[in-house]
Structure 1
Amino acid sequence: MRADARRNRELIVTTAADLFVERGPEVSMEEIARAAGVGVGTLYRHFPDRRALVEAISVDALQRLLDYGRAVSEQDVSGWEALRLIVRRCTELPLALATSVTGGSALPGRAELPGLVQAVNAELEWAAARAQREGTLRRDIPAREVIALISVAVCRPGARIDDPLVRVVFDGLRATGA
């Protein structure tokens, strides 16, 4: 792919993700093209339909989250802090977009999506298990279930690190006396 075409594609994905998060899934493809500063034809050359664009946004968001999670795992922070940092990043990304735009149906076609989800969950499980070993995260809930619970809180439209649901989930996961 030519450099200008790659830049346009990345700009469309970034712009669309921001618009979907800001205004919801009803944003039109024409509005996305206009906000990205490209023609509608350019948008449709890269993404023949909304589903293809949503898949690209999902892959991009998961890859950014995975990269961030790996960077956090290399830092000298506690397991609880690592988990908190990764969850904060989750709330900054359009992780709920695929569900909100497609009405909950599975996204076919992008083979990398399941692998990315698995890799992101592995990073989160690493942080949760570390926090459990340190005694800052409840030990009576397996790390995999901790991640499932956190996903419910952060992979929804409008999730923020300081919203009541995320706060209640984190408060409930914190080990007594930690």
Structure 2
Amino acid sequence: MRADARRNRERIVEAALGLFTERGAGVSMEEIAQAAGLGVGTLYRHFPDRRALIEEIAQSTLTVLRDHLRAGAAEQVPRWEVLLSMVRHCAGRPLALLSSLPEASPQSDTRQRLIREIHGLLGDIVEQAQQEGSLRRDLTPEQVVGLLNVAICRPGARADDPLTTVMLDGLKAPAP
């Protein structure tokens, strides 16, 4: 790919990331092109349709999240801190886009594999946090992952917003 074409593609993805994170999947292709400082035709040359752009962003976001969780799991820190790091990492990322993608598509195999891997890593971290006593034990790891998804997979999610704060407070194990 030519250098100018690569830069344009990066500008499109960066603009889309910002808009999708802030406003959710309802952002138009025209708004993305405008935010990138490019014409709509340039956007469509790189991404034939909206689904292709969202799919690329979703897979990229999931890959970065998986790598972040792997790194956190390898650290010798309390597991609660790894969970908080993950929440902070996810804030400001367009994870809400995942709900706008069809389950069955040529790219869904990669996306579904990444989601399964992330849920597995997160489940292990949750179990370890429960064993160390920092996370309440009356919830299954699957339930905790579900709650975390509610908190961070929505437009405008932030690590310090009221919903996330209340959810984290509720997951923290009570002091002995």
Matches within 5 A, 1:5-24: 5-24=5-24
Return the letter of the residue paired with 2:8.
N
CA distances 1:48-67 after superposition (whole Å, capped 9, x unpaired): 11111111111111111112
1:6 to partner: Cα distance: 3.7
Quick one: which amino acid aligns to residue 122 of structure 1?
G
Cα shift at 1:79: 0.3
Give the aligned CA root-mean-square deviation in angstroms.
2.1
Superposition pairs of residues 11-90 of structure 1, within 5 angstroms: 11-90=11-90
Q: Which residue of 2 aligns with 1:167?
A: 165
Relative to the length of structure 2, the TM-score reads 0.87
Residue 51 to residue 139, structure 1, CA distance change in 2 (3 Å): same
Counterpart contact for 1:124–1:147, Cα < 8 Å: yes
Report the AA paired with residue 16 of structure 1: A
Partner of 1:138: 136
TM superposition score normalised by structure 1: 0.86
Compare 128-137 and 34-43 and name the one that shifted more.
Answer: 34-43
| Structure 1 CA distance for aligned equivalents of residues 27 and 148 of structure 2 | 28
The answer (yes or no) to whether the contact 1:14–1:57 under 8 Å persists in 2 is: no
1:176 partnered with 2:174: yes
Task: Deviation per CA, 1:27-76: give whole Å up to 9, x if none.
Answer: 32122123223332221122111111111111111111112112222323
Residue ranges of structure 2 left out of the alignment (5+ in a row): none
Are the counterparts in 2 of residues 69 and 124 from structure 1 also a CA contact under 8 Å?
yes
Secondary structure in 1 matching 2:91: helix
Structure 2 CA distance, aligned partners of 1:96 and 1:143?
21
The higher relative CO (CA closer than 8 Å, separation ≥ 6) is in 2
Q: 1:145 and 1:98 mapped to 2: Cα distance?
A: 19
Deviation of residue 2 (structure 1)?
4.5
